[in-house]
Amino acid sequence: MSNASLICDLARQFYDLGWVTGTGGGICIRDGDHVLIAPSGVQKERMTPDQMFTFSVDGQLLDRPLDPALRPSECTALFMTAIRLRDAGAVIHSHSMHAMIASLLFEREFVISEIEMIKGIEGMSFHDRLVVPIIENTAHECDLAASLEAAIRAYPQTKAVLVRRHGVYVWGRDWVSAKTHAECYDYLFRAAAEMRRLGVSDASFSSQPTDAYARR
Amino acid sequence: MSNASLICDLARQFYDLGWVTGTGGGICIRDGDHVLIAPSGVQKERMTPDQMFTFSVDGQLLDRPLDPALRPSECTALFMTAIRLRDAGAVIHSHSMHAMIASLLFEREFVISEIEMIKGIEGMSFHDRLVVPIIENTAHECDLAASLEAAIRAYPQTKAVLVRRHGVYVWGRDWVSAKTHAECYDYLFRAAAEMRRLGVSDASFSSQPTDAYARR
Amino acid sequence: MSNASLICDLARQFYDLGWVTGTGGGICIRDGDHVLIAPSGVQKERMTPDQMFTFSVDGQLLDRPLDPALRPSECTALFMTAIRLRDAGAVIHSHSMHAMIASLLFEREFVISEIEMIKGIEGMSFHDRLVVPIIENTAHECDLAASLEAAIRAYPQTKAVLVRRHGVYVWGRDWVSAKTHAECYDYLFRAAAEMRRLGVSDASFSSQPTDAYARR
Amino acid sequence: MSNASLICDLARQFYDLGWVTGTGGGICIRDGDHVLIAPSGVQKERMTPDQMFTFSVDGQLLDRPLDPALRPSECTALFMTAIRLRDAGAVIHSHSMHAMIASLLFEREFVISEIEMIKGIEGMSFHDRLVVPIIENTAHECDLAASLEAAIRAYPQTKAVLVRRHGVYVWGRDWVSAKTHAECYDYLFRAAAEMRRLGVSDASFSSQPTDAYARR
């Protein structure tokens, strides 16, 4: 499957997950020093491969769809930031309700620990403290680039940045890694809200036995 | 795809979203001065293109399906109100649980601000206060027309009117715009309930920095 | 589509709605004085038309599938009760979480009023008080027949009976009516729980204006 | 359908149920003294039959996919434990949010009674007390084997073991039984959380009539 077809296929899957409704959200896939980016403001579950834009990694427009009404995704600058700073092979932007709500449960950092799905994030293990920085939203998506870059630099281990009252940017070394990260983060965002709703504190029934702490 | 096929296709999608179960809800699409309207009381996810009615914009029945048991949607008068007053190209009526519940969280107006998905509503930006008027339900759907018209006139910027304990009417300049609006409103209705459930106030972690307020 | 194929098709739809997981729940369709009934204890989303049983309306087995391991649904006696007492053309048994939870929110009768979806139940209008009797569950499904019959006789207007901690039986004059009723009841069961969770009382923002009450 | 195709088909279904997102979870199917096991760390909804590993029941690798990058599921040792101790014909490992949350609502045992879906678990009836042991999670999935084995031995009637902050292992005598069990347990885990959220105690409106208690 070509990367253009793959973007359309993934976008349909993300629509069913509630990540890209209302023409929001998106995905880009890098192939060497080319980046394939979907158009802005279109129905993400109805895109076709001929609607994609191609940029160079340094942000030059190389190819565009024939339809003159199409503009590249407003996330382009943000996608490029993650590609440039982290050598990402794919970046997913989701408006998932779970991500949006998670950004309202924490002040500056989303933090969770001891949930198995944390292990789905590259480099993380079960007992690690997973931290996702939260940046403030701006009126225009392109104005997020500076604070996204600052957050990525300040949190060298993160594979995601939450945008308050908005959603999340997630990346990985290739599209499989980015999608896996996006699914794991989404699960963790939802888990945090479910635990809050049920009055289960983060430390309830910790899997690490008490004497293990004592031994430290 | 013909507009008749498109209505069937969208209705299946809306069924999966929970907007048109129990034969409720519906959609109409305008083509110039003709309006295509689905039948009343049928299973919306199983409609076929030959079941559609055609009306003129001023409400005259121009064409009808062969099946004599079919009657035009009870929403017809309401759909025509939005088309006439707002030059809508398509109108969606949803019984989404999120819309119904949202109508019970506010007295006269649904209000939300600083959620990214607000930007999906034409003419609105992130910091705007999105207001959706709520009208009271009536025993018969056709009796809603007068109060729907009053609400549309009283709220010139709105693209939707909530009907208490019932659902929502949403429109746009064409079917893509109407569907985008419907998805964004639905997200916002759900967000309001989720925030209420988690005890997150509308102003929690506002994205507008504190010093921005001070500068006013 | 034959009724046997239709049962398989509907069962897949009900599986996706969460009504018939774990081999639970089911549907029967009557054709004149024959009733088509699905097998017991099979995966409802994977049934094939050749697995159906045919009974006469008075409960005689007329035809059975070749596979000797198949037994008719344990709901058979209950399906026949609704067919016999109400001349139902189809009966749906759902284990929907919403139905099960609704049976725990009320002592003897599920009651709701002034929700638009009430109008989807034959004979009901928006301001009517919709009542669904709740019967107690039994260890064996067949032992429910007597109390189901008593509830149907005691509530001549109902199209459904809730079974506590179990689910719901819903019927209609044909399969379309039964399915429409099942979708509307399910919406109403879910609405009651959502309203309870949000602390919205049944009378909040009643659509019937106060002076309407005064005029009575 | 071959067992390899069946595993792919079931994995797609489990993905839609939210049980195997983020490459987590899995399923194995036994055929006589061979066990078919899916690869580790792959997108479970996109697997193909040629990616499967074959083990003997005593844990010897008999056949592997051509792709050298594939490793057998990290659940292999755990799958084998249920097969060896219980003669299971299939084992499902799910990261379902409902299972994960259920592991946080109880200290050592998930307990529920008088919910119809309990009858979907082999050997259980409606009034039985369904108990699922909860074991503590470990940093590495393979380190769960000892405590999983201990739990299986200590709870001879259980068909499932919850892993705290992680998910659940469920089995059955064949794949249909394992899938049925997995769906029933998942329903019961979700029901427990829904009841907790609504303040409905486990004994609310017990289906066992009061005089039945008096007669004891």
Q: Report pLDDT digits (tens) over A73-89.
A: 988 999 999 999 999 99
Neighbours of chain A (3+ CB pairs under 8 A): B, D
**Tens-digit pLDDT profile for residues C51-94:** 999 999 989 999 999 999 999 998 899 999 999 999 999 999 99
d(CA A129, CA A157): 11
Contact C117 B22 (CB under 8 A): yes
In chain C, the N- to C-terminal Cα span, in Å, equals: 51
User: Parallel, antiparallel, or unpaired: how do β-strands B160-163 and B167-172 relate?
Assistant: antiparallel
- Residues of chain B in contact with residue C197, where contact means CB-CB under 8 angstroms, are 197
Chain C: closest CA distance from residue D112 (Å) = 11
d(CA D169, CA D152): 11
Which A residues 130-159 touch D at CB under 8 Å? none
Nearest CA in chain C to D188: C97
In a domain, B208, yes or no: no
Chain A: closest CA distance from residue B120 (Å) = 6
Nearest CA in chain D to C23: D180
- For residue C120, what are the domain limits? 3-200
Tokens in use for C192? 């009651």
How confident is the model at residue C202, as a pLDDT?
73
Which D residues 43-82 touch A at CB under 8 Å? 43
Nearest CA in chain C to D193: C101
**Tens-digit pLDDT profile for residues A96-118:** 999 999 999 999 999 999 999 99
- Residues of chain B in contact with residue C125, where contact means CB-CB under 8 angstroms, are 139
Contact D191 C139 (CB under 8 A): no
pLDDT score of B210 more than 60: no
In a domain, C8, yes or no: yes
Of B104, B138, B196, the CB nearest to C205: B104
Q: CA-based angle A23:A28:A34, to the nearest 5?
A: 140
Question: Looking at residue B23, what DSSP letter applies?
Answer: G
**Tens-digit pLDDT profile for residues B21-41:** 999 999 999 999 999 999 999
Q: Is D50 exposed, middle or buried (0-12, 13-18, 19+ CB in 10 A)?
A: exposed
Kindly report each contact of residues A9-12 with a partner whose C-beta sits within 8 Å and lies 24 or more positions away, as own/partner.
A10/A175, A10/A179, A11/A38, A11/A44, A11/A45, A11/A47, A12/A44, A12/A45
pLDDT score of B214 more than 80: no
Nearest CA in chain A to D107: A205
Comparison of pLDDT for C204 and B77, the residue scoring more: B77
How confident is the model at residue B208, as a pLDDT?
58
How far apart, in Å, are the Cα atoms of D56 and each of D4, D145, D205? 15, 18, 49
In a domain, A208, yes or no: no
Contact B100 C191 (CB under 8 A): yes
How confident is the model at residue D210, as a pLDDT?
41
Nearest CA in chain C to D201: C104
Q: Is D28 helix (H, G, I), strand (E, B) or coil?
A: strand
d(CA A202, CA A149): 29
Contact B164 C207 (CB under 8 A): yes
In a domain, D214, yes or no: no
Contact B97 C190 (CB under 8 A): yes
Average pLDDT rounded to a whole number, residues B76-82: 94
Chain A: closest CA distance from residue B108 (Å) = 24
d(CA D98, CA D92): 15
Query: What is the domain-level CATH number for residue B130?
Result: 3.40.225.10
- What is the predicted ipTM? 0.94
Contact A100 B115 (CB under 8 A): yes
Closest residue by Cα to residue B167 from B54, B27, B30, B12: B27
Tokens in use for A13? 């899957």
pTM over 0.90? The answer is yes
Q: What percent of chain D has pLDDT over 70?
A: 95
* Active-site choice (B74, B116, B141, B194): B116
Contact status, residue A95 vs residue A11, Cβ threshold 8 Å: no
Which residue in D13, D15, D21 has the most chain A C-beta atoms within 10 A of its own C-beta, making it the best mutation to test that interface?
Answer: D21
* Active-site choice (D45, D74, D107, D116): D116
- Which residue type sits at D179? K
In a domain, B207, yes or no: no
In a domain, B204, yes or no: no
Which residue in C110, C137, C162 has the most chain D C-beta atoms within 10 A of its own C-beta, making it the best mutation to test that interface?
Answer: C137
Report chain B's mean pLDDT, rounded to a whole number.
Answer: 93
Instruction: Give residues with Cβ within 8 angstroms of C128, minimum separation 6.
Output: C113, C118
DSSP-assigned letters across all residues of D142-203: GGGHHHHHHHHHH-TT-SEEEETTTEEEEEESSHHHHHHHHHHHHHHHHHHHHHHHTT--TT
- Residues of chain D in contact with residue A116, where contact means CB-CB under 8 angstroms, are 24, 95, 100, 137, 163, 165-167
In a domain, B216, yes or no: no
**Tens-digit pLDDT profile for residues D71-96:** 999 889 999 999 999 999 999 999 99
Contact D194 C95 (CB under 8 A): no
CA-based Rg of chain C, rounded to a whole angstrom?
A: 18
Q: Does A12 touch chain B (CB under 8 A)?
A: no
In a domain, A195, yes or no: yes
Q: Does D123 touch chain C (CB under 8 A)?
A: no
Instruction: Give residues with Cβ within 8 angstroms of C76, minimum separation 6.
Output: C28, C37, C53, C55, C59
Q: Does C176 touch chain D (CB under 8 A)?
A: no
Q: Does B24 touch chain C (CB under 8 A)?
A: yes
pLDDT score of B211 more than 50: no
Q: Report how many domains make up chain C.
A: 1
Nearest CA in chain B to C201: B104
Of A22, A104, A137, the CB nearest to B120: A22
d(CA D34, CA D55): 6
